[in-house]
Structure 1
Amino acid sequence: MKLFESKYDVIVVGGGHAGSEAAAAAANLGSHTLLITMSLQNIAQMSCNPAMGGIAKGQIVREIDALGGYSGIVTDLTAIQFKMLNKSKGPAMWSPRAQSDRMRFAEEWRMRLEQTDNLDMFQDSVNGLLFEGDQVVGVKTQLGLRIYAKTVIVTAGTFLNGKIHIGEKTFGGGRAGEGASTGITEDLVSKGFEAGRMKTGTPPRVDARSLDFSKMIEQPGDDVTSKFSYTNTKSLTKQRSCYMSYTSPEVHDLLREGFENSPMYTGRIKGIGPRYCPSIEDKIDRFSTKDRHQLFVEPEGWHTTEIYVNGFSTSLPHEVQYKALKKVAGFENVKFLRFGYAIEYDYFPPTQLQLTLETKLVKNLYFAGQINGTTGYEEAAAQGLMAGINAALKVRGDGPFILQRDEAYIGVLIDDLITKGTEEPYRMFTSRAEYRTLLRQDNADLRLTPRSYAIGLASRERMDRVEEKQKKTDLFIKFLKDTSVRPEDVNPILKEKKSAAVNQSMKMFKIASRPQLDFDDIRRFPKVEDFILANKIDREVLEQAEVHVKYSGYIEKEKNSADKLQRLENIKIPVNFDYKKIHSISFEAREKLSKIQPSTISQASRISGVSPSDVSVLLVYMGR
């Protein structure tokens, strides 16, 4: 019996954040797509914290939305709290973050996928890949099905040979309550792929009814909320608060009692854990001089009593977790719903990928998400989106879709992975992006929607919104440049803001660029509010204009730097170039270049171990 008569354009293996975005993107680009997942009930499950966004991650979610992905829309529709982080810093650092209703988030994703044309979904476990020579042609499942496709995207998350650790107890699984996936790693290794092990963890979940929130510090959302999607989703009008508490020396002493039974310290866990999201035992070991650590007490939804104890990720024995957490202020009578645990899983070093996320060893096979050594919903979703786009474009016979480092955080993420690799779970930070003033959360639509529209993913409606936003932004900036304001009209405001008075009429643009003034002050200038109302200029346009006025010098400087980089980006290196014949570059450079096979001189220059003198030799060799 043939359950699947036709050959799919794209098969996506895994229904997490990467798989969901990959399937949606491929299907929306017209590819006949199949999403296979071990549990249809757990599509886009928030396995760890119930939140999207954060430092640099919020920019990624806005970029996904600008490109036509679903993560921003789903987050807006299921959010219970919104915050714009880093508002005290410059706009390059502003990062949106939202707490989500965990159950509604997964439900909304499922509904979105079910309403996506060209997309089939099927529940089964993929336990192998089908190959013909050096290309993938389909998958085989636990039920014994063989399903064929032109391209396959593997987004297996933490499920590949996943192993869960709680104290001395160890059992197979990809997530609490769900089994591990076997067979794929073995098939890939047999084709010559290098595999490794990584570790991540999650904290306990507890019952809100057992906590005393009066002993904690309330963490409300922003008074004026924003949102992730550039579409017409609504901002929050009511929010749920989070809370903060602290560990103590007594808590640390109790946790240390379990170290001798911790899988991290007994050597049972071989994988490397995330540096930037360490377990509580890691924290008290690495930062032994600190007598307390923050714990963020986060509700999992509007109506559930389940609480996520952010900052208490652990794989210590369950009795140690219980004894220690009871000593935290507000947790004296805590009731556990789930204990924290660590999970160890297979990954494939991402230097084995091209910039499209297609593998170098096997044609038409793509990897996205934690299989590439990353951590975080946002990083996974971004990779899934890009893999889905590129798989669909390859089926169509079109060229690749690649974002450069000066175009998007997504471009930085993928370039870092392919060029530098990772030996610990990779997560994005603003500091990783050298052009972060260009890559702000407020302008992701202006940067990326035109590119997505050009390939047919972003809708005409999205493109119209972008064009309208740009038009109104330019119009308002022109108004500020063309309109003068008199001293008697502006000096009272300048005095109030402790900014130097003016003694003659001056263009509004020049005054608006002063750091002491924000655009709420500018709106008090004569004619400004009337112009805003007459031209229906919204807060989003005002924010865009304000950034341009205040930071135009910095923006221009970064654009010039990016243009210089682009010149190196345009110098292509032939596929499978033989670096061993260039004896005037260092041995380390030859070794790294041969392994990674960069596609441009610019990418080669970013490889660890390739020096400026090596790059100069390559430029000469390429006739430059």
Structure 2
Amino acid sequence: MSLFTTTYDVIVVGGGHAGSEAAAAAANMGAHTLLITMNLQNIAQMSCNPAMGGIAKGQILREIDALGGYSGIVTDKTAIQFKMLNKSKGPAMWSPRAQSDRMQFAECWRTMLEQTENVDFYQDSVNGLLFDENKIIGVKTALGLEIIAKTVIITAGTFLNGLIHIGDKSFGGGRAGEGASTGITEDLVAKGFEAGRMKTGTPPRVDGRSLDYSKMIEQPGDEFTEKFSYLPTTKNLTKQRSCWLTYTNPKVHELLREGFDRSPMFNGRIKSTGPRYCPSVEDKVDRFASKERHQMFIEPEGWTTCEMYVNGFSTSLPEDIQDKAIRAVEGFENVKFLRYGYAIEYDFFQPTQLKHSLETKLIENLFFAGQINGTTGYEEAAAQGLMAGVNAALKTQGKEPFILKRNEAYIAVLIDDLITKGTEEPYRMFTSRAEYRTLLRQDNADLRLTPKGYELGLASKERLDRVLEKQRKTDLLIKFLNETSVKEDEINPILEAKNLALINQSMKLFKIAARPQLDFSDFKDIKKLSVFLEENAIDKEVIEQAEIHLKYSGYIDKEKNNADKLNRLENVKIPAAFNYQKLQSLSFEAREKLTKIQPTSISQASRISGVSPSDISVLLVYMGR
């Protein structure tokens, strides 16, 4: 049965972070898009902690914004605190993070989607997929409606056959208070897809009025706040809400252990793999038995709500154990629970079954994005959603897919890691995963990606103009520093105050500014520089770009050279469905892995676990022939 007479260009299944970005991207590229979700009130809901960004995740969020996505704008509009993490390290490690108002975040996302042309909405559960042999042609809903589309993007989050665990209790669900999604996994497995199970968890939410903050350590935001979006969508925060830090202790650990025999993690009821870098509190107590305390980071859920998120206390232990144990934490003696923590198991599909466009290899016009690909985190999901939305739209327009390279974006590192290596545990992005992290900084995401977003029709002309102006002014400032000399009496008082070596003759300003112990604020009294900055309206953002260039140009050039060398291998393409079994000079493992993953280039083949340099040499010789 179908009450929908429209054949959509793109159907997006699921309205979480991946689905929301997918729908926005496809629609902004001109594709008639339908977003189907089980509850329209929960679009882009923050299922876990009320924060965006962080180590490497902040870089991803800025890349999404630079390409024309919505997540950065929504975060800025709903932020209640901002911090730039890792400022004591080099700029490649600087990572923006913001606490958000959970309710405002979802409301803002829905408003922006409703104001986006080409997006239709429908509340229902998708429980079946429609195929024409090895092409997808639409979806079937719980109400029995069949909706036809040229492409389909599945962004089901933790809902595919989701199973929630609290102690010895288990029940179906994709999130607290919401049912699971059934039918999609079964249809995909019948088509030959490899499915698996993963697990994640969430901590209790508590009443902030019942906590004693005098026993905790206050964690305020930065004094001088920044933003995620490169557009002037909001002003910087002038008022912020603090987070709070406290710790578990041996008494807490003792009380937690009392429930281990009833823990679904330890008694075998949970068989799937959880996130390595965000373990439950019982897992931490068990694995690090000698450690006397673990950090707990208490995050406010919004400007006005009393609800607090207890980061660091994720658990699926019975509710009586959760209650007893958390009361032994300093500041939690009189805590009131709003809801208990729980674990959730759900279906995912090995991402090696995808192309770099996030289209599946088995079924044409079908795309996966988000936790269905084995990832964890809002930012990782949103990035995949944006890329899937872009490529689904391009597919309907008969255009080539949009594929980013590893030296161009963290988004590319994320997707390439998933597709080339697969994952056995929920994948989370870190700066250490990116071999070109000096190039992939949070400050230059607009310079790297906005021109590409504009070419796609995703980023606006306003964005492009701002990027071009930023680049022009950065080049102008660098030229000025390279050409302008300062005399000893101008600069030596500054150097002396910093206990640095003095100069004995005039010197170009760029040589002085390149010293790691100095920054631009030290030069505020050099008149020729201050006049230049004022006359050319050079702002903080441009100064930061120029300063990074001066101090790190050697590292940046080295990474660019390395990237150029490896990108030459990217140009050595491997034919589709290549028969690796005929190359007996390849190791058995290489033949097996290459046959399974079907890399598109020698460069991708070189990143597959189990493919050795000698195997790559064999491939290069063969492709050379």
TM-score by shorter chain over 0.5: yes
Aligned-residue offset at 1:2: 4.0
Question: What is the distance in 2 between the residues matched to 1:209 and 1:623?
Answer: 70
Question: What is the distance in 1 between the residues matched to 2:497 and 2:277?
Answer: 42
Question: What is the distance in 1 between the residues matched to 2:572 and 2:219?
Answer: 50
**Which amino acid is 2:137 matched to?**
V
For residue 549 of structure 2, give the secondary structure of its aligned residue in structure 1: helix
Alignment of 1:7-26 (within 5 A): 7-26=7-26
The corresponding residue for 1:149 is 149
The corresponding residue for 2:511 is 510
**Which amino acid is 1:361 matched to?**
L
Question: What is the distance in 2 between the residues matched to 1:343 and 1:160?
Answer: 11
Question: What is the distance in 2 between the residues matched to 1:289 and 1:90?
Answer: 33
The corresponding residue for 1:293 is 294
Aligned-residue offset at 1:522: 2.7
The corresponding residue for 1:474 is 475
Question: What is the distance in 1 between the residues matched to 2:586 and 2:302?
Answer: 57
Question: What is the distance in 2 between the residues matched to 1:49 and 1:97?
Answer: 12
Q: Deviations over 1:196-221 (max 9, x none)?
A: 00000000000010001011000000
Question: What is the distance in 1 between the residues matched to 2:596 and 2:46?
Answer: 35
Q: TM-score, normalised by structure 1?
A: 1.00
For residue 229 of structure 1, give the secondary structure of its aligned residue in structure 2: coil
Question: What is the distance in 1 between the residues matched to 2:12 and 2:187?
Answer: 17
For residue 265 of structure 2, give the secondary structure of its aligned residue in structure 1: helix
The corresponding residue for 2:57 is 57
The corresponding residue for 1:564 is 565
For residue 107 of structure 1, give the secondary structure of its aligned residue in structure 2: helix
Q: Deviations over 1:403-447 (max 9, x none)?
A: 100000000000000000000000000000000000000000000
The corresponding residue for 1:204 is 204
The corresponding residue for 1:457 is 458
The corresponding residue for 2:83 is 83
The corresponding residue for 2:138 is 138
The corresponding residue for 1:215 is 215
The corresponding residue for 1:440 is 441
**Which amino acid is 1:36 matched to?**
I
**Which amino acid is 1:14 matched to?**
G
The corresponding residue for 1:338 is 339
Q: Deviations over 1:513-553 (max 9, x none)?
A: 00110111133323111111111111111111111110000
Contact 1:489 1:526 in 2 (8 A): no
Question: What is the distance in 1 between the residues matched to 2:44 and 2:444?
Answer: 26
2:408 is aligned with 1:407: yes
Question: What is the distance in 2 between the residues matched to 1:420 and 1:465?
Answer: 37
Aligned-residue offset at 1:495: 1.2
Aligned-residue offset at 1:104: 0.2
**Which amino acid is 2:75 matched to?**
T
Question: What is the distance in 1 between the residues matched to 2:528 and 2:238?
Answer: 31
Aligned-residue offset at 1:270: 1.4
Contact 1:485 1:526 in 2 (8 A): no
Change in Cα spacing, 1:135 to 1:621, as seen in structure 2 (3 Å) is same
Question: What is the distance in 1 between the residues matched to 2:183 and 2:296?
Answer: 38
**Which amino acid is 1:116 matched to?**
T
The corresponding residue for 2:491 is 490
Aligned-residue offset at 1:195: 0.2
2:341 is aligned with 1:315: no
The corresponding residue for 2:98 is 98
The corresponding residue for 2:360 is 359
**Which amino acid is 2:344 matched to?**
I
Contact 2:124 2:142 in 1 (8 A): yes
Question: What is the distance in 1 between the residues matched to 2:534 and 2:384?
Answer: 41
Question: What is the distance in 2 between the residues matched to 1:294 and 1:52?
Answer: 20
Q: Deviations over 1:304-330 (max 9, x none)?
A: 000000000000000000000001010
Aligned-residue offset at 1:455: 1.3
Contact 1:498 1:516 in 2 (8 A): no
**Which amino acid is 1:405 matched to?**
R
Question: What is the distance in 2 between the residues matched to 1:371 and 1:2?
Answer: 27
Alignment of 1:318-397 (within 5 A): 318-397=319-398
Contact 2:227 2:236 in 1 (8 A): yes
**Which amino acid is 1:153 matched to?**
I
**Aligned-pair RMSD on alpha carbons?**
0.7
Q: TM-score, normalised by structure 2?
A: 0.99
Q: Deviations over 1:170-199 (max 9, x none)?
A: 000000000000000000000000000000
Q: Alignment length, in residue pairs?
A: 624
The corresponding residue for 2:256 is 255
The corresponding residue for 1:278 is 279
Contact 1:100 1:300 in 2 (8 A): yes
Aligned-residue offset at 1:498: 2.0
For residue 367 of structure 2, give the secondary structure of its aligned residue in structure 1: strand
Question: What is the distance in 2 between the residues matched to 1:380 and 1:78?
Answer: 19
Question: What is the distance in 1 between the residues matched to 2:257 and 2:520?
Answer: 52
Question: What is the distance in 2 between the residues matched to 1:27 and 1:3?
Answer: 22
Question: What is the distance in 1 between the residues matched to 2:598 and 2:521?
Answer: 51
Contact 2:2 2:147 in 1 (8 A): no
For residue 622 of structure 1, give the secondary structure of its aligned residue in structure 2: helix
Question: What is the distance in 1 between the residues matched to 2:53 and 2:594?
Answer: 34
Contact 1:349 1:421 in 2 (8 A): yes
Contact 1:100 1:301 in 2 (8 A): yes
**Which amino acid is 2:450 matched to?**
T
Aligned-residue offset at 1:452: 1.0
Question: What is the distance in 2 between the residues matched to 1:25 and 1:497?
Answer: 50
**Which amino acid is 1:613 matched to?**
S
The corresponding residue for 2:182 is 182
For residue 140 of structure 1, give the secondary structure of its aligned residue in structure 2: strand
The corresponding residue for 1:4 is 4
2:513 is aligned with 1:500: no
Question: What is the distance in 2 between the residues matched to 1:526 and 1:498?
Answer: 22
The corresponding residue for 2:266 is 265
Q: Deviations over 1:9-34 (max 9, x none)?
A: 00000000000000000000000000
Aligned-residue offset at 1:497: 1.6
Contact 2:46 2:106 in 1 (8 A): yes
2:148 is aligned with 1:161: no
In the alignment, structure 1 segments of 5+ residues that lack a partner are: none
**Which amino acid is 1:126 matched to?**
V
**Which stretch of structure 1 is more off in the superposition, 494-503 or 16-25?**
494-503
Give the 4+ runs in structure 1 shifted more than 6 A. none
For residue 555 of structure 1, give the secondary structure of its aligned residue in structure 2: helix
For residue 171 of structure 2, give the secondary structure of its aligned residue in structure 1: strand
The corresponding residue for 1:228 is 228
**Which amino acid is 1:333 matched to?**
N
The corresponding residue for 1:111 is 111
Question: What is the distance in 2 between the residues matched to 1:289 and 1:402?
Answer: 46
**Which amino acid is 2:195 matched to?**
A
Question: What is the distance in 1 between the residues matched to 2:560 and 2:598?
Answer: 28
Aligned-residue offset at 1:69: 0.2
Question: What is the distance in 1 between the residues matched to 2:554 and 2:523?
Answer: 20
**Which amino acid is 2:303 matched to?**
W
The corresponding residue for 1:520 is 521
**Which amino acid is 2:376 matched to?**
T
Contact 2:13 2:36 in 1 (8 A): yes
In the alignment, structure 2 segments of 5+ residues that lack a partner are: none
| Percent of aligned pairs with the same amino acid | 77
Question: What is the distance in 2 between the residues matched to 1:47 and 1:456?
Answer: 31
**Which amino acid is 2:503 matched to?**
V
Contact 1:165 1:171 in 2 (8 A): yes
2:542 is aligned with 1:541: yes
For residue 356 of structure 1, give the secondary structure of its aligned residue in structure 2: coil
2:570 is aligned with 1:602: no
Question: What is the distance in 1 between the residues matched to 2:243 and 2:498?
Answer: 33
The corresponding residue for 1:129 is 129
